């Protein structure tokens, strides 16, 4: 036992799929319940957790549908424990009903979306076309989710640890926006022991535990009086979201000082873009990269800072979608950069750009 404890306090070098790293991180973060329904390309997470949750004496249920799974998340979160579900694009669409209720009831939970091609049944290849759905709410009503976008197995692990803390700290759903490539990618990573991100978390005094010794708790989302009820809730949520916008904007910048072109990409496409950028830079050009790690809140202040420092810089937005994050880039830079200096390269077929095609795209812009 002593040896086991020792290993829990140290990093371990591991080799896993992104989807499995998400699962192990949830165990480390103290996730007590996991509910899911199989869908490609995320199925390794429920497969992994069906074994690990049993080993840890925690709760695993393969639900009858994604709708049931997210409502189990709703119940477990209301009961006061850490809880997660995962799915892929069509399944996440089904979960949107529950996500809206969870956001409305201000309950913490973690939801992993390993994106695939859409709309409709689409295909099972990697895609980033759920950007609008994740960052604009997705379900009905005025709400947001924190959205984290890993681009490596290491970040699948680390961001899952973070996601549970952020969910509890802000009392809201946190989405991990992975994709088919990142989920299926096998690469070594450091398995860090779980360390809470915050010194203190708000008490879960709202949790449903039976009302012994206190007044009954009610977890609700119905507010029939618009002026005194729902308006107040939505104002409160707006304040919370504004606080998060000021506190939580994560991004990675690479080679941005004095760059001629800055590529903006996240998730799998950022990995592909980086290969192309490195190849260009060995040829004596200056290409940088800006990678949002939080898709909501979007790191707008950071991008504006970069644009202001370098007036002549051009931007190339790369997505495995038809121009969804592009809208956030345009909104962010509308007063800082002429629109003609913002270029877009997207693929919508559930397929990814290659380092060569990104290299060519950068070369074209260099010639203009």
The footprint of other proteins (CB under 8 A) covers 32-33, 35, 59, 61, 63-65, 67-69, 71-76, 78-81, 83, 97-98, 101, 105, 208-213, 216-222
Residue 368 CA to residue 260 CA, distance in Å, equals 12
Beta strand pairing status for 173-179 and 146-148? parallel
For residue 357, give the 3-state DSSP assignment: helix
Nearest to 269 by CA among 354, 210, 203: 354
What whole-number distance in Å separates Cα of residue 320 and Cα of residue 328?
A: 15
State CA 255 to chain mean position distance.
24
Task: Give the closest residue to 219 by CA, choosing from 322, 328, 76.
Answer: 76
Which one, 74 or 169, has the nearer CB to other proteins?
74
Report in angstroms how near the CB of residue 65 gets to other proteins at its nearest: 6
The CA distance from 180 to 313, in Å, is 32
For the bound state, the minimum distance from the C-beta of residue 73 to other proteins, rounded and expressed in Å, comes to 7
Provide the phi-psi class of 106: left if phi over 0, else alpha when psi is between -120 and 50, else beta.
left
Nearer to other proteins, 63 or 336 (CB): 63
Closest approach of Cβ 169 to other proteins, in Å? 21
> Given the complex with other proteins, which of 76 and 289 has the nearer CB atom?
76
Q: Which is nearer to other proteins, 78 or 185 (CB)?
A: 78
- Residue with Cβ nearer other proteins (78 or 273): 78
3-state secondary structure of 16: strand
Closer to other proteins by CB, 78 or 156: give it.
Answer: 78
For other proteins, which is the closer residue by CB, 45 or 77?
77
Contacting residues for 118 by C-beta, under 8 A, at least 6 apart: 89, 90, 127, 129, 130, 350
Say if CB 343 and CB 317 are below 8 A apart.
Answer: yes
Min dist. Cβ of residue 83 to other proteins (A): 8
Look-up of token digits 């009392």: 171
In whole angstroms, the minimum distance from the beta carbon of 236 to other proteins comes to: 18
Instruction: Classify residue 190 by its DSSP letter.
Output: E
CB of 219 to other proteins, least distance (A): 4
Least distance between other proteins and beta carbon 228 (Å): 15
Nearer to other proteins, 23 or 98 (CB): 98
The smaller minimum CB distance to other proteins, of residues 101 and 298, is found at 101
Residue 239 Cβ vs other proteins, minimum distance, rounded to whole Å:
23
Smallest distance from the beta carbon of 32 to other proteins, in angstroms? 7
CB 36 within 8 Å of CB 72? no
The DSSP line for 49-105 is HHHHHHHTT-EEEE-SSHHHHHHHHHHHHHTTS-EEEEE-HHHHHHHHHHHHHHHHT
Main-chain dihedrals φ then ψ at residue 190, nearest 5 degrees: -90, 120
Q: What are phi and psi of 56, to 5 degrees?
A: -90, 5
């Amino acid at each position: 036992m002593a040896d086991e404890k020792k290993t829990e306090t140290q990093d371990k070098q591991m080799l896993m799929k992104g989807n499995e790293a998400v699962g192990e991180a949830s165990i480390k973060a103290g996730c007590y319940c996991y509910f899911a329904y199989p869908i490609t390309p995320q199925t390794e997470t429920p497969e992994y957790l069906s074994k690990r949750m049993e080993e840890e004496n925690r709760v695993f249920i393969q639900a009858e549908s994604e709708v049931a799974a997210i409502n189990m998340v709703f119940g477990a979160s209301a009961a006061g424990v850490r809880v997660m579900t995962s799915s892929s694009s069509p399944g996440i669409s089904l979960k949107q009903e529950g996500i809206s209720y969870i956001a409305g009831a201000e309950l913490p939970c973690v939801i992993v979306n390993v994106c695939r091609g859409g709309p409709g049944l689409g295909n099972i290849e990697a895609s980033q076309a759920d950007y609008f759905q994740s960052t604009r709410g997705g379900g009905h009503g005025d709400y947001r989710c924190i959205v984290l976008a890993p681009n490596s197995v290491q970040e699948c692990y680390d961001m899952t640890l973070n996601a549970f803390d952020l969910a509890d700290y802000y009392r809201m759903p946190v989405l991990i926006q992975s994709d088919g490539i990142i989920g299926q990618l096998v690469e070594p990573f450091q398995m860090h022991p779980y360390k809470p991100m915050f010194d203190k978390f708000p008490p879960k005094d709202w949790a449903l535990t039976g009302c012994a010794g206190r007044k009954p708790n009610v977890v609700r989302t119905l507010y029939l009086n618009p002026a005194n009820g729902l308006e107040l809730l939505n104002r409160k949520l707006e304040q919370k979201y504004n606080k998060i916008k000021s506190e939580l904007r994560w991004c990675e910048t690479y080679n941005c000082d004095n760059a001629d072109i800055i590529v903006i990409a996240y998730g799998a496409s950022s990995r592909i873009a980086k290969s192309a950028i490195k190849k260009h830079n060995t040829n004596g050009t200056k290409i940088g990269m800006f990678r949002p790690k939080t898709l909501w809140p979007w790191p707008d202040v950071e991008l504006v800072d970069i644009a202001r420092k370098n007036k002549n810089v051009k931007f190339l937005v790369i997505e495995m979608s038809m121009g969804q994050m592009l809208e956030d880039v345009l909104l962010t830079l509308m007063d800082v950069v002429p629109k003609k200096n913002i270029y877009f390269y997207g693929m919508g077929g559930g397929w990814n750009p290659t380092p060569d095609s990104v290299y060519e795209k950068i070369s074209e812009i260099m010639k203009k």
